[in-house]
Structure 1
Amino acid sequence: MTAGGWVLGVDSGGSGLRIALAHAEDGRVVETVSSGEPVPTGPAGIEAAALLRQLLPAVEAMRLSAGAVDAPAAVAIGAAGMATLGGELRAVLPGALKQALGVRRLALAADAVTAYAGALGQRPGAVVAGGTGMIALGTDLVSWRRADGWGHLLGDCGGGAWIGRAGLEAAMRAHDGRRGGSGALLAAAEQRFGPVGGLPGALYPRTDRPAVLASFAPDVAGCAAEGDPVAADVLARAAAHIAEAAAAVCPTAGECEIALTGRLFKLGDPLLVPLAGELADQLPYARPVSAAEDPLGGAVAIAAALARGSLRLPRDPRLLHLGPPEVSGGSGSDTT
Structure 2
Amino acid sequence: MTGSGPGFLAVDSGGSGLRVVAGTGGRGPLARAASDEPVRTGARGIDPAHLMERLVPMARALCAEAGTGRPEVAVVGAAGMASLGDALRAELPDALRRELGVRRVALAADAVTAYVGALGPRPGAVVAAGTGLIAIGTDLTGWRRADGWGHLLGDCGGGAWIGRAGLEAALRAHDGRRGGSARLLASAEELFGPAAGLPGRLYPRTDRPAVLASFAPRVGACAADGDPVAVEVLRAAARHMADSAAAVCPAVEEPVVALTGGLFRMGAALLDPLDEELAGRLPGARRITAEGDPLHGAVRIAQDLAAGSFTLPGDERMLCVTDPAGERVTRATGVRT
Normalised TM-score (structure 2) = 0.95
Q: What is aligned with 1:322?
A: 321
Structure 1 vs Structure 2 CA RMSD? 1.6
CA contact (8 A) 1:105 1:326 kept: no
Q: How far apart, CA to CA, are the structure 1 residues paired with 2:219 and 2:5?
A: 49
Q: What is aligned with 2:34?
A: 34
Q: How far apart, CA to CA, are the structure 2 residues paired with 1:312 and 1:253?
A: 18
Q: How far apart, CA to CA, are the structure 1 residues paired with 2:29 and 2:180?
A: 49
Q: Any idea what the Cα deviations from partners look like across 1:241-263, whole Å, max 9, x if unmatched?
A: 00000001101131211100010
Alignment of 1:1-336 (within 5 A): 1=1, 5-26=6-27, 28-68=28-68, 70-324=69-323, 325=326, 330-331=332-333
Q: How far apart, CA to CA, are the structure 2 residues paired with 1:293 and 1:307?
A: 20
Q: How far apart, CA to CA, are the structure 1 residues paired with 2:109 and 2:63?
A: 25
Q: Any idea what the Cα deviations from partners look like across 1:19-56, whole Å, max 9, x if unmatched?
A: 11122123x55121111311111000011111111111
Q: How far apart, CA to CA, are the structure 2 residues paired with 1:249 and 1:308?
A: 29
Letter matched to residue 62 of structure 1: L
SS at match of 1:296: helix
Q: How far is 1:315 from its partner?
A: 0.5
SS at match of 2:287: strand
Unmatched tracts of structure 1, length 5 or more: none
Q: How far is 1:198 from its partner?
A: 1.1
Q: How far apart, CA to CA, are the structure 2 residues paired with 1:203 and 1:60?
A: 40
Task: Give the number of aligned pairs.
Answer: 333
SS at match of 2:99: helix
Q: How far apart, CA to CA, are the structure 2 residues paired with 1:192 and 1:144?
A: 40
Normalised TM-score (structure 1) = 0.95
Q: How far is 1:199 from its partner?
A: 1.2
Letter matched to residue 271 of structure 1: L
Q: Any idea what the Cα deviations from partners look like across 1:184-237, whole Å, max 9, x if unmatched?
A: 101111111111211111111111110110000000000111111000100000
Unmatched tracts of structure 2, length 5 or more: none
Q: How far is 1:4 from its partner?
A: 5.8
- Identity over aligned pairs, percent: 62
CA contact (8 A) 1:259 1:291 kept: yes
Q: How far is 1:319 from its partner?
A: 0.2
Q: How far is 1:66 from its partner?
A: 2.4
Q: How far is 1:333 from its partner?
A: 6.0
